[in-house]
Structure 1
Amino acid sequence: MEEKILLSHGSGGKQTNSLISDLFLKYFNNEIINELNDSAQLKLDSSKIALTTDSFVVNPIFFKGGDIGKLAVCGTVNDLAMSGAKPRYLTSAFIIEEGFPVEKLETIVKSMADAAKEVGVQIIAGDTKVVEKGGLDGIFINTSGVGTIYENVNIKANNAQVGDMVIVNGTLGDHGMTIMCQRSGIDIEGELKSDCAALNSLVDSMLEVCPDIHVLRDATRGGVAAVLNEIADISGVSIELEESSIPISEEVKGCCELLGLDPLYIANEGKLCCFVPENYAAEVLEAMRKHPLGSNAAIIGRVVEKVSQKVYLKTIIGGKRIVDMPSGQQLPRIC
């Protein structure tokens, strides 16, 4: 195989077939994709499914804690898990710039295959397009995912209720700050790296102790601030946060202070917000802390009223401030 991607790799001829057989099928090998049909034929054991799609354009494509391939799999799996669904199948489409090194492409594809295997999903269909050099920055990936929704689960963004406790599964802002520092050449002491991870097994542990979880959302672009404002608006409630309870690593705190940023607005790729009834909060928190992806889980606030539709923060010094929906571009190309 050539060392770099050529326009002919996207032409549908011999080189396209070679790329598919020698690279993609090498790592995405399973009985469904190996049939090479124009569409995958699936049999799902549920009458209720979740379907999601996402695109990944992160810059840089390789970063501490992951790469665009791992991010594509984990991000799509997480969108399914946030609906109370068991992720089953993924599709993946690659848009590649002419001249992109095949060695890097293989690293990305292998990363996707490894992440999918760890999660227990199959990549069953895909597509490859090659654009002229300068048409995009390296590689973009689009993924779609299908999952079967567990019975007796009603997790929706408009389901937050007065009295619900708001829980996150760990420190905030790790992914976004990692990308910003790496992109800008800022060298930070410590263990700062992306939190990129698939959260479906964590959600399973949570649902075991509380099938009545009201809301689940992964806090990606816009961070926790964006997610909580969306939920407050859709559910028609107000949310009160406790600044002293919000878990943030010392590395992220230091970077935010240096750059004048608020960790609540920084992107995550392995963090979720959940809204649970108060009487289940302690059990859910305990279950999360027993899981490797929830060891730093914390209750950070509660739903306080069925009016106003706002999010506000009780500060360490005793004041209050509104946490608005983010605007503008803090960190472009974060995922």
Structure 2
Amino acid sequence: MIRDDHQAGPTLTSPRSNGARISLAHGGGGQLTDELIGGLVLPRLGNGLLNELLDSAVLPLDAQHRLALTIDAYVVTPWRFAGGDIGRLAVSGTVNDLSVAGAKPLGLALSMILAEGLPQRDLDVVLASVAQASSEAGVPVVTGDTKVVGHGQADGIYLITAGVGVVPTDRRLHPDSIKAGDALIINGPIGEHGLTVMLAREMPEIDSVLRSDVAPLNHLINRVMTRHGGGVHFMRDATRSGLAGLAADLAKQSGRHITLDEAVIPVRPEARHAADMLGLDPLEVANEGKVVIVADRNQADQIVATMREHELGKQACVIGWVGDDGDGICELNTLIGGRRIIQKPYGEQLPRIC
């Protein structure tokens, strides 16, 4: 059961009466997003499932399965970037949100909001990417909707994808299953998606080999769950607010002390260089092809070995652990031998990167 302070959520000061307005930072996945959800969304819509604030809701279905349901909106700009585009992003993100809930994804719904004047050839490129990513994942688009808005009322193309999947009834992945001694495992280098998009937007003249990591992770995750499912306690993909935001959330939601080791967190040299140019911390930059698995420490090495057998897990490694303290704090052991507290970014470092 989620603790009462998490159910209540952070609050805005009289959000419905003080004239407060939405800012870009409210969509960044950081503390301001939490305030918006806690101050406006949950007071109106809150219930036992929504209050858990997990990436997918898991509902009763039958004796053998439960139903996983998720939805996400994609407004990335530019819509095309090295390594992918908004179409690949929309499929991968929703497939991954289902997969980290322990679900086998079954189907996707795709909604398109198109701006008047969008070249049809651009839409065709996006739809080709949707088809390719859907084929890679083995998860079809089975329904959808299309709307067009007037010139200047939207920025090119927005996509919304919803997905459904099935979870075995004996599989429960939840922050309250995280235990002292558990290991945190990631499948590869961090920061590549957000940095790629920001370079394309802010420094298009830079010739970089950096590419977004956007990819559907369901086959990798299924391999891990098939072999080691009993040892996996929780999973989440490290999207908005990056690895730092994910780890801070895990500590808060589980009530456990979590430690990350900066020396072993994989970051490619080109990503570190891009982060330095943009003045960003790779720990706080979004990923779209990275999963963090919290698992029994006695199975961590086997899980890493299994992940490394897959193309999307070649650089899998243990990056941290869960401590004995129940203080809900996340800290980082730094490269220079220090320690610092990890918190979710307050606002929006990287607007519209997904």
Query: What TM-score do you get using the length of structure 1 for normalisation?
Result: 0.84
Q: Counterpart in 2 of 1:6? A: none
Alpha-carbon shift at residue 298 of structure 1 (Å) = 1.2
Residue from 267, 276, 282 that aligns with 1:257: 276
Indicate if the aligned counterparts of 2:194 and 2:350 stay in contact, CA closer than 8 A: yes
Bigger Rg over Cα: 1
Alpha-carbon shift at residue 324 of structure 1 (Å) = 1.1
Residue 172 of structure 1 aligns to which amino acid in structure 2? Answer: I
Q: Counterpart in 2 of 1:169? A: 187
Alpha-carbon shift at residue 317 of structure 1 (Å) = 2.1
Inter-partner Cα distance in structure 2 for 1:250 and 1:92: 36
Q: Counterpart in 2 of 1:203? A: 221
Question: Which runs of no fewer than 5 residues in structure 2 stay unpaired?
Answer: 1-60
1:267 corresponds to 2:286: yes
Residue from 124, 129, 136 that aligns with 2:147: 129
Residue 154 of structure 1 aligns to which amino acid in structure 2? Answer: R
Residue from 303, 314, 327 that aligns with 1:295: 314
Residue 160 of structure 1 aligns to which amino acid in structure 2? Answer: I
Regions of 4+ moved over 3 Å: 43-47, 186-190
Q: Counterpart in 2 of 1:154? A: 172
Q: Counterpart in 1 of 2:156? A: 138
1:95 corresponds to 2:130: no
Which deviations, in whole Å up to 9, do the C-alpha atoms of 1:218-267 show, x marking residues without a partner?
Answer: 00000011111111111101111111110000011112223321111000
Q: Counterpart in 1 of 2:330? A: 311
Root mean square deviation, CA, Å: 1.6
Indicate if the aligned counterparts of 2:65 and 2:168 stay in contact, CA closer than 8 A: no
User: Equivalences for 1:1-335 in 2 at 5 Å?
Assistant: 47-188=65-206, 191-212=209-230, 213-335=232-354
Alpha-carbon shift at residue 199 of structure 1 (Å) = 0.4
Which deviations, in whole Å up to 9, do the C-alpha atoms of 1:147-171 show, x marking residues without a partner?
Answer: 0113532112332211100011000
Distance 1:46 1:56, change over 3 A: farther
Residue 124 of structure 2 aligns to which amino acid in structure 1? Answer: E
The size of the alignment, in residue pairs, is 293
Three-state SS of the structure 2 residue aligned to 1:214 is strand
Q: Counterpart in 1 of 2:55? A: none
Inter-partner Cα distance in structure 2 for 1:292 and 1:268: 17
Residue 104 of structure 2 aligns to which amino acid in structure 1? Answer: K
Indicate if the aligned counterparts of 1:162 and 1:237 stay in contact, CA closer than 8 A: yes
Query: What TM-score do you get using the length of structure 2 for normalisation?
Result: 0.80
Residue identity over aligned pairs, in percent, reads 43
Alpha-carbon shift at residue 318 of structure 1 (Å) = 1.6
